[in-house]
């Protein structure tokens, strides 16, 4: 069978497709929606950031050294923490400490499991696999972390009287906040569960589509997509649970008393 070459896109092609954004800007102005500036800035940032990332990855792939790869992963983690912070309006106590440790542990453990145990990456720092796979795991975990932290903080505030009553009746801090933690954990998992349930019927996910477009055999792409989605869901669950457990403890003293905030 003749091997098909990848269809490349010229910069002129990107200029043409950016016409869609200009059309949306015109539509927004026509309907007086007021999102023209936001659309233009977002589209410009996307282009600049992705092109810069492409050139940087090209350089890192050529270096074949673990140190730049690790630096990129740390930077990704830092930006993920800042993104979570920007999304969460009501924050739990010790927010940055809890979110930082949870993201690095949850995403780090799941990335190691997927890259070393599942696919057996050699060398372990191979940037063509490690960077994009870690990016997908961290990117999806951000959503779960944001939902978990936001829901925990808001419900601890709204249900304070209920929790204090449970403590007065002899409940431990864990039991008093059990429903709050359970509700927040469910909220954190909903996007991942919905994505898994819709894959293959409602839409073809990005990783699978990208591999197929690059010439990968469809069944190989399918197996990779199933594996990465399991890893992503595991990372979301572990990261969110770490945030909820540490966050819940931050609201109470060692004597199971609710701390005034």
Read off the pLDDT of residues 119-161 as tens digits, 9 standing for 90 and up.
Answer: 999 899 999 899 999 999 999 999 999 999 999 999 999 999 9
130: tokens are 């490690």
Read off the pLDDT of residues 2-39 as tens digits, 9 standing for 90 and up.
Answer: 556 778 889 899 999 999 999 999 998 888 888 889 99
Query: Cis ω on the peptide bond leading into residue 257 (within 30° of 0)?
Result: no
> Percentage of the chain with pLDDT > 90?
70
| CB neighbourhood size of 33 (10 A) | 13
Read off the pLDDT of residues 203-239 as tens digits, 9 standing for 90 and up.
Answer: 777 778 888 887 788 898 899 999 999 999 999 999 9
For residue 254, give the H/E element and its range: none
Domain ranges of the chain: 1-63, 66-250
The pTM (predicted TM-score) of the whole model is: 0.85
200: left (phi over 0), alpha (psi -120 to 50) or beta: left
User: Three-state DSSP class for 94?
Assistant: coil
pLDDT at 203: 74
Residue of 255 and 70 predicted with greater confidence: 70
Strand partners, 17: none
Radius of gyration of the chain (CA): 22
Average pLDDT in the 55-78 region? 91
């Amino acid at each position: 069978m003749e091997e098909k070459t990848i269809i490349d896109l010229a910069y002129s092609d990107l200029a043409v497709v950016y016409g869609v954004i200009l059309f949306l800007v015109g539509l927004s102005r026509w309907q007086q929606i007021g999102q023209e500036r936001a659309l233009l800035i977002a589209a410009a940032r996307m282009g600049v950031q992705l092109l810069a990332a492409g050139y940087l990855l090209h350089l890192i792939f050529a270096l074949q050294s673990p140190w730049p790869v690790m630096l990129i992963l740390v930077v990704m983690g830092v930006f993920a923490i800042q993104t979570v912070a920007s999304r969460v309006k009501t924050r739990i106590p010790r927010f940055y400490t809890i979110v930082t440790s949870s993201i690095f542990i949850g995403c780090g453990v799941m990335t190691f499991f997927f890259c070393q145990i599942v696919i057996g990456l050699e060398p372990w720092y191979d940037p063509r696999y490690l960077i994009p796979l870690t990016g997908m795991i961290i990117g999806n975990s951000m959503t779960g972390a944001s939902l978990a932290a936001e829901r925990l903080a808001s419900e601890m505030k709204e249900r304070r009287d209920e929790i204090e009553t449970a403590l007065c009746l002899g409940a431990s801090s864990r039991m008093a906040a059990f429903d709050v933690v359970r509700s927040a954990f469910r909220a954190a998992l909903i996007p991942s569960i919905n994505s898994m349930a819709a894959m293959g019927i409602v839409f073809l996910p990005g990783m699978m589509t990208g591999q197929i477009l690059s010439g990968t055999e469809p069944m190989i792409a399918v197996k990779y997509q199933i594996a990465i989605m399991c890893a992503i869901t595991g990372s979301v669950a572990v990261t969110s649970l770490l945030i909820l457990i540490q966050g819940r403890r931050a609201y109470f003293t060692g004597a199971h008393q609710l701390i005034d905030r």
